[in-house]
């Protein structure tokens, strides 16, 4: 297992704080110019998380040498797509039973 890269952890902390700032300031963006500036200037955080994910995946496989692409895709599929499909089905079943789509459309539509 490769050693942790502390610089990536520090960047992750900064990005996490930026996401928190986005959520905290979002309520005040229409009424306060400073909140709007803070909210918009913290938008770098989401792309940073994508970059960190790619870096973490790269470094986790870097020391293993050459990687079989299909093995990599199969592992990612099981870790990401299968839970996504499972939770989507759970939500759809819940929605069908409780008809929450009308509540959501009335609330947000």
Mean per-residue pLDDT over the chain, rounded: 84
Average pLDDT over residues 62-87: 82
What's the rounded Cα separation, in Å, for the pair 73 and 46? 23
Q: Does residue 19 have a pLDDT over 60?
A: yes
The model's confidence at residue 98, banded by pLDDT at 50, 70 and 90, is confident
CA distances from 82 to 55, 76, 85, 92, 96 (A): 23, 9, 5, 15, 21
CA distances from 54 to 9, 62, 91 (A): 14, 12, 29
């Amino acid at each position: 297992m490769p050693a942790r890269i502390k610089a990536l952890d520090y960047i992750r902390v900064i990005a996490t704080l930026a996401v928190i700032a986005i959520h905290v300031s979002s309520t005040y963006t229409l009424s306060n110019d400073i909140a709007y500036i803070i909210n918009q200037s913290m938008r770098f955080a989401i792309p940073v998380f994508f970059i960190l994910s790619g870096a973490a995946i790269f470094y986790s496989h870097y020391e293993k040498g050459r990687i079989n692409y299909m093995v990599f895709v199969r592992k990612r599929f099981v870790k990401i797509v299968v839970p996504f499909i499972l939770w989507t089905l759970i939500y759809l079943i819940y929605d069908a039973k409780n008809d929450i789509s009308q509540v959501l459309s009335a609330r947000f539509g």
